[in-house]
Structure 1
C-alpha cells in the first residue's frame, strides 16, 4: 500500500487537505510565536544546533507515532488503542499521560490567547488597562473558543482553514518584511563556551520542537481517517501523507520566520518579552514603527494561538473522554453511557480548569521547558517501547528508533537543567 504505484491510486482530496491545514494550524501556535524570544536570549548558534537535533527526530517520531496507532483493530480514542495493546490498566495510565501532554498545550494557549489579546487591545488603544486582569474577560474568551472547538472537525475545517492559510502566508511575509530591520552584526553573537552551548541547546530544544510539532492532532487525524476510509491500510497511508506534507511546509516556513525575527530583535528585547510574559510578535508590534508589521503580527499571533487551541482541543477532549469511558465502562455497560453527555461534561470541565489556570498567571516560557518531559515520554519514548513490547509492531524496529528514543531522553533533561539554575 505504501509503494509508489499504490500511492498514485489514492487521490488527495479536500478532506486530506483539511487535515493538512489543521496540522499546520496546530503547529503554528505558541511554539512559533515564543521561539524568537528563546532564540534571542540564547543566540543563533544554539538555535541552529537545536534544529539539527529536533527536526529529524520530530519527523521520525510523528511517522512512528501514526504507524503504532494505525495497527490497532478498533480506533475510538488513544486510551482505547493502548488498551488493545496493553490492557485496561495500562490504557488508563497512558491515557492520563497522553492527556497531560495535551494539557500542556491547552495551558499554554489559554495563557497566550488571554494575555496577548489583552495586550493588543491596550496597544491599539481600545482599552486603557489590561483586560487579562479581569476574571470575566478570560472566562468569556475561553468559553467562546471551547464552544467552537466542541462542534467537531467539519466546522473546524471551515473556521480554521482560511485562518491557517492566512497565518501561514503571514509567517512567510512577515519574515520578508522583517528583513529591513535586520542587524546581523549585533544580533549574531560570538560562539559561546562549549559547556554553556550544550546547556543552552538542551534548553532551547523544546522551543524548536514545539515550533512545528503537531503530534497532539495525529491521534484525532488517525481516528478520523479510519472512520472515513473502510480500508485501514489506505487510511494509514492518507494520515502519513498528510503528516509529511504538513511537516515539509512547516519546516521551510518556520525556519525562515525564526531566523528573520532573530536578526531583527535584540537580546535586550528578547529579555523584555520574557519579563512581560508576551510573545515576540506582541513585542514587535509595540517596538517596530511600521503599521504593516503591527497589523500582521497582531493577526498572526491571534490566529496562530486561536487555531492551535481549536486544533489541540480535538485531541484533548478525545483523551479526557477516553479516560472517562475507561473508568465508566468498569462499572456500566458501554452501550448505556451517553457519549454526548460525556462530551458535554468534558467541555465544561475544560473551561473551568483553564479559567482557573489563567488566573494563576504562570510563566509561558517556563511552562514550555518544565513540561517538555511529558512530550519526551509520550511522543518519543512510549512509541519506541511499544514497538519492542507489542509483537504486531516489531516490524517497525530500526536504527531510527534509537535516535527517537534518545531525543525523548534529551527532552526530559530540560527541566533538570532548569532546576539546577541554568
Structure 2
C-alpha cells in the first residue's frame, strides 16, 4: 500500500466533534434536490413510497458504513479513498475507480455553482426587487465565498455547515407542520388498483431517486480520515455511531417533509407540479396563495446548495488530486501544498465558467453520475469485504447481502431510467 503506517493517538469520544460531523454529513446529503424530491418520490404512488421509506434507512446507513469501514481499515491514517482502492485492488483498478469517482462527483459541483447563482439572482430580482447583477461577478463572488470556507480548514467548514444546516432543518420541519391541515388522504383510497408487477416496477425505479437524495458518499472519505486521526483503532466504531445518527436525522426530517408535501399536493397536485417542473415549495406557494412559502423556497435552496457543495467539493478535489498522483505518486514533481492550490484553482475556474454559461443539464449529469456513485457506494465496499483480508472481520453478515442486492437494484434501476 502506498503510504506508511502513521502513529495515531486515540482520543476519548468527543461528542461535539461527532455532532459536528453528523450535521456536516446531513448537509452533504440534503442538496438542492430536496426541493424536487417530494414530486419525484410521490409520483410513483403512495404504497411504493411507503415501502421505499422503510427501506431507505438501512440502505443509507449500511452502505455508507461499509464505505467508511473500507477506509478506516486501511493501515495508513492518511490514505484517502483513492489511495485505499489502489492499495487494495492494485494500481490499474485503483486508477480506474479514482477516475470514475472524480467524474461522478465533479459535475455535481459544477451544477451547484450554477444553482447557487440562479437562486441568489432570482431572490434578488423576484423577492427583493433588485436589478439582476452581472452574472460573471455574482457567480464568481458566490463560488469564492463557498470555497473560502473549505480552504479555511475542516474546523471552519464544520462550524459553517452547522450554521447552514440548523436553519435548513428548522425550515423543513416548519413547512412539514404548516402543511398538515392541507393533507389529503385520497391517495390511500386511490392506491392499490395496479398489479403486483407494476408496484414492484414503480418501487424499483423509485429506489435510485431516494438513494441519491440521501447520498453523502462524497464526504465519507475525508470523514473517515478525520475519524482515524481522532480515534485511531476505534475509528470504525465511532464512524458507525455518527453514520447511524446521520441516517436517523435524514430519514426523520427529509421523509417527513416528503410525506407532508405529497399528502398536501394529492394525486392531481403531484401530476400538475411534475408537469410544471417547479420546485415543490414554489408550486405550493401558488396553490395555497401563501407568498411567504415562496420566500422559503430560495432560503431552503441556498442553505441546501451551500451545505451540499462542501461535501461534494471534498470528494471531487480528492479524486482530482488522486488523478494527478498517477504521474507523480511520491510528490517529487508537485509538492502536496502546490497540488492543493492547483486543485483549488482548477475547481474555482471551471465552476465559475460553467456558472456563467448556465447550462440546463442538471438531470442529465445526475443520471450519468448516478451509476458510478451507486457502484462506489454499494458494490465496491462489498467486493472489498469479500476479497481483502483487512476487512475479513466484516464477512458473513446478512447486512452484506442486503447492501449487495440494493446496489444491484439501484444500478439496474438507474440504467432502466436512462433507457426509458
TM-score range for the pair, normalised by the shorter chain length: 0.7 to 0.9
Classify 1:96/1:239 alpha carbon distance in 2 versus 1 (closer, same or farther; 3 Å). Answer: same
Distance in 1 of aligned mates of 2:354 and 2:273: 21
Classify 1:371/1:265 alpha carbon distance in 2 versus 1 (closer, same or farther; 3 Å). Answer: farther
Establish whether residue 346 from structure 1 lines up as the match of residue 349 from structure 2.
no
Would you say the 8 A contact 2:72–2:236 is kept in 1? yes
* Structure 2 match to 1:6: none
1:79 offset after TM fit, Å? Answer: 0.9
Would you say the 8 A contact 1:101–1:378 is kept in 2? no
Secondary structure at the counterpart of residue 299 of structure 2: helix
Moved more, 61-70 or 44-53: 44-53
1:186 offset after TM fit, Å? Answer: 6.1
1:357 offset after TM fit, Å? Answer: 4.2
Unaligned segments of structure 2, at least 5 residues = 1-10
Give the TM-score normalised by the residue count of structure 2: 0.86
Classify 1:299/1:395 alpha carbon distance in 2 versus 1 (closer, same or farther; 3 Å). Answer: same
1:176 offset after TM fit, Å? Answer: 0.5
CA RMSD of aligned residues (A): 2.8
* Structure 1 match to 2:3: none
Unaligned segments of structure 1, at least 5 residues = 1-8
* Structure 2 match to 1:90: 93
* Structure 1 match to 2:202: 200
Establish whether residue 261 from structure 1 lines up as the match of residue 261 from structure 2.
yes
Give the TM-score normalised by the residue count of structure 1: 0.86
Matches within 5 A, 1:356-375: 356-358=353-355, 359=357, 361-375=359-373
* Structure 1 match to 2:20: 18
Establish whether residue 102 from structure 1 lines up as the match of residue 100 from structure 2.
no
* Structure 1 match to 2:129: 126
Establish whether residue 325 from structure 1 lines up as the match of residue 325 from structure 2.
yes
1:216 offset after TM fit, Å? Answer: 1.8
Would you say the 8 A contact 1:33–1:281 is kept in 2? yes
Moved more, 185-194 or 162-171: 185-194
Secondary structure at the counterpart of residue 328 of structure 1: coil
Distance in 2 of aligned mates of 1:30 and 1:204: 18
Distance in 1 of aligned mates of 2:88 and 2:385: 11
Matches within 5 A, 1:138-153: 138-153=139-154
Distance in 2 of aligned mates of 1:118 and 1:191: 44
Moved more, 142-151 or 360-369: 360-369
Classify 1:175/1:318 alpha carbon distance in 2 versus 1 (closer, same or farther; 3 Å). Answer: same
Secondary structure at the counterpart of residue 73 of structure 1: coil
Distance in 2 of aligned mates of 1:67 and 1:312: 20
* Structure 2 match to 1:404: 403
